[in-house]
Structure 1
């Protein structure tokens, strides 16, 4: 299948916030199709470096087109940046959105808009697909995932409908199978939103362990950043953004030991630098940017 184009969200804003040293080493934790990486390289001197991560084999294959000696990529989840030496990089960028080639490829199973196998794995070479998991999970397990990761109030009826269909000998195996089951279980719909939206989001987040990986990646970024280095994270839904917001706040807020009220506050490893939303012009040009929230923090010497 011909590779599909991807429009990078908050491209200039993210790279301008990230790159403070043209001689530095930067991590693009989600290469995708390389939009952020290429812009970072354009701002770096010949001595600068970019190390990218991506767990999608198709993204890693696309990276072969980028023949720049300052660039390298690892086929790995961004949480694996914990393997880098402490205080070895000048910036970490995490773009948490699903790329357009993933969404728009029916065979990947990410979208309810296309008929395809119900897969949704970021790395299709590892682990069970969504269909595999739905074939064995209990009603309680399915309902908890859809409720916790999709914030779906009809999680239990959807889970019961999925298991009932499985028990009838027709397990949910395709995207359209799932859309049909959800449509029958969801009694009211949000205007302009497919009733399966929250269920698809929940199952994708769960099967890829996205929130656990984000927690690990944020902790790793704090370790590998040099003092003065920047952390830039672009989130596309509230669950991710809440994790990022709380992480930055927890490491940027002064804490006082109440048992020692006259002791100086503990040194803070991060300084919050702000929150950025896409402009109206960007949203008009790329509707998928609408929900994006970018947060920026800087590591400080402690």
Structure 2
């Protein structure tokens, strides 16, 4: 007998398996690099840290922060995409594709020019502000045409805004000679993340992830239609606003830490729904863990593809995301 996708047992088994795979991936990612280390050494450095050992310092000060950052922002981008897809009912929604990351990047570029000595906590807040402003612009463009806002119009408006903001950011980088400083945020990467940044980012992202899970039931009911959702007591407008705000927080904070990484929020929610069905109480936590796995492995691939050089993590993810985007777009076109 075929098991139902949305059963609690299936969800629990998949979640536990995904968490185990994530932990294994993190240990592998910490152990591999320019200097390969044994899993025993990694375990020792994590749980029995000895500052006098250089190999322990490599793990604690360089590899562990970047792997934790990859896991954290992978979960953030994936859940942000799941929330956007859920409340807009747009299977192509993603904070990177819709131009939300581009807004955050644009404000980061302006900050580099006019406020170069900003502390990271303020940069994080400004990055979130940029994400909010670009989202407002996207919604104004998408809803201003006859027929109102539709999933396709939202995607097109996001693409236009992303192209505009990326062009402006590039112009600022060239004019003010910021190319080197912005290269990290353009390509996306976790190599420069420090423990100080993680201490700021971690509680914000974890809080946003927990809040997103509480919206799961309401988002699932909204998929049944506005009338049914209203009759079941779901305040559609309020849920939509809460979900978008949480997605903006997740995107803005992540961009301020690791730069603009697209397609995580597009690919992962689709995989999560294939595994556990359309119940967002299940989709959101599964998306978080799968997003973490994807970015941890993408960062590992970026490090070992051409040592001692590193590829941009955004390039690795895009190699998966672009074909997937084209596949989903073509599938949606056939359904029209």
Q: What TM-score do you get using the length of structure 1 for normalisation?
A: 0.27
Q: What TM-score do you get using the length of structure 2 for normalisation?
A: 0.25
More helix, by proportion = 2
More strand, by proportion = 1
